Amino acid sequence: MKTNIFHLIFLIFLNESYRVNALECYSCLSTKPNTTGCDDKFNVNGTLISTHSATTTNATCTKMVGKLTDGNKFTLRNASLTGCPQGLESSAIVGNSTTVQIADLKIYCCHKHLCNRALSQSYSLSNTLISIVFAAVAAAMALSNTSSASSTCESHVLTPVHHTGTKSEWMEAIEQQHLERSSLNRLIINYLITEGFKEAAEIFAQEAGITLNNVDLTSVDERLKIREAIENGKIQDAICLINKKAPELLDQNKQLAFHLKQQHLIELIRLNLIDEALTYAQTHLAEFAEDEIKMRQELEKTMALLVFDKPLESPYGYLMETSHRQIIANQINNALLVHQNQQSESDLSMLVKMVNYIEDKLDKKSLRYPKLIDIPTGKLEDS
């Protein structure tokens, strides 16, 4: 389940950087307020509203929200041919040679047709997880009056949230946080490398302009092959690959070796190879059960699958779910990373845990806040 959640979050992030051809975006380049339908109370049929099609591979729909030095606010929508605009000069923003002094500017980008009607959904979703973490951390620290609040918020350039309130107030606080595109790119690359997705990491790094010179891609590919073998139920193949890559790993980690052999037993039961399953359990797993109570209990549950005509529908059917293979694959992947003195858990995984931790702390204080109820979509409950 955890792996599925992380994969879904990754797909959201990947979607944010996905490039499409013939992208159609709303266009509105007038800075006159409330006359064109261009502002946040968006009117598709407003005057001077049109659509712009971009056919380059880096095309994005953009929405720029700014404020002039005289206090007037404006919203501009258009298509960018070269990706999400960064480091824009004031004159470029209005599309002519007139210099306009801008006091504040926020840029939102997305990659779906006509998605810049409102706040960019793709951009907002890709920022949601980290922004909520930052806001929640700031809120918890401020409310707890901990001494570390100022240093943590300062390192992330956060505006502390000193109270909880409605969903709109919470989202307003989140919108005040600033996240660089490069930070999101590094988060995605870190996830891909840690989880062993070599090809995806190479493709994304090329699109994002990130070098992987310090990454051992051969090792990443080896971990991916081991993961795929386990997730496909080919446990013996996985054991051979592990022994080839890290010969002493399974000898030094008894629990890891047990779980791999337990999974092979499950695969034999899945194939209805009853005699072979009994022989394998006696030959390769009995020794674990003699020394460790927990392992004996796990082995008993696994052997109990043999009693049922439909083991998948039994009380221990969860052992035969593909999610159980993924759990074992994650354990092996983490152990290999630790063996190589590398980070064993992706930053994205730790961010998810941080969200859960902070929300739990806020719940225990009986504080009112919009709870994150769906991580893949970044959906918040109304408060």
The CA-to-CA distance between both ends of the chain, in Å, stands at 27
pLDDT of residue 201: 85
Average pLDDT over residues 72-91: 72
Which parts of the chain are beta strand (E)? Answer: 23-27, 50-54, 60-68, 73-80, 102-110, 372-374, 379-380
What residues make up the domain containing 221?
216-340
Average pLDDT over residues 221-243: 94
Give the span between the Cα atoms of 78 and 109, in whole angstroms. Answer: 10
Average pLDDT over residues 160-166: 50
User: Which letter, b or e, does each residue of 230-254 get, where b requires 16 or more Cβ atoms within 10 Å of its Cβ?
Assistant: beebebeebbebbeebbeebbeebe
pLDDT of residue 295: 92
Average pLDDT over residues 75-102: 63
Residue with the larger pLDDT of the pair 63 and 369: 63
Q: Name 217's Cβ contacts closer than 8 Å, sequence gap at least 6.
A: 198, 201, 202
Q: Name 312's Cβ contacts closer than 8 Å, sequence gap at least 6.
A: 320, 321
Residue 108 structure tokens: 């939102």
Average pLDDT over residues 332-345: 88
Residue with the larger pLDDT of the pair 96 and 164: 164
Give the span between the Cα atoms of 277 and 152, in whole angstroms. Answer: 54
Q: Considering only 133-137, 224-228, 230-234, 363-367, which range has the smallest mean pLDDT?
A: 133-137
At residue 59, the 3 state secondary structure works out as coil
Residue 85: alpha-carbon gap to chain centroid: 23
Closest CA to 31 of 79, 77, 84: 77
At residue 79, the 3 state secondary structure works out as strand
Residue with the larger pLDDT of the pair 43 and 223: 223
**pLDDT-based confidence at residue 58 (cuts at 50, 70, 90):** confident
At 66, phi and psi to the nearest 5? -140, 175
Average pLDDT over residues 234-241: 96
User: Is the pLDDT reported for residue 244 higher than 50?
Assistant: yes
pLDDT of residue 113: 77
Give the span between the Cα atoms of 184 and 310, in whole angstroms. Answer: 45
Asked if 212 and 192 touch (Cβ cutoff 8 Å), the reply is no
The residues facing 68 across adjacent strands are: 102
Parallel, antiparallel, or unpaired for β 73-80 and 50-54? unpaired
Q: Is 228 part of any domain?
A: yes
Q: Is 248 part of any domain?
A: yes
Average pLDDT over residues 301-326: 92
Asked if 2 and 68 touch (Cβ cutoff 8 Å), the reply is no
Give the span between the Cα atoms of 290 and 321, in whole angstroms. Answer: 27
Closest CA to 368 of 94, 141, 144, 167: 167
Average pLDDT over residues 120-133: 42
pLDDT of residue 340: 83
Q: Is 184 part of any domain?
A: no
Mean predicted lDDT score pLDDT of the chain: 74
pLDDT of residue 179: 67
The pTM of this model reads 0.54
Average pLDDT over residues 252-272: 95
Q: Is 84 part of any domain?
A: no
Q: Considering only 69-78, 166-175, 346-355, which range has the smallest mean pLDDT?
A: 166-175
Residue 348: alpha-carbon gap to chain centroid: 5
Q: Considering only 24-38, 82-96, 116-130, 207-221, which range has the smallest mean pLDDT?
A: 116-130
Q: Considering only 46-60, 223-237, 314-328, 332-346, which range has the smallest mean pLDDT?
A: 46-60
Q: Is 334 part of any domain?
A: yes
Task: State the total domains in the chain.
Answer: 1
pLDDT of residue 142: 44
Residue with the larger pLDDT of the pair 118 and 83: 83
Residue 334 structure tokens: 């983490």
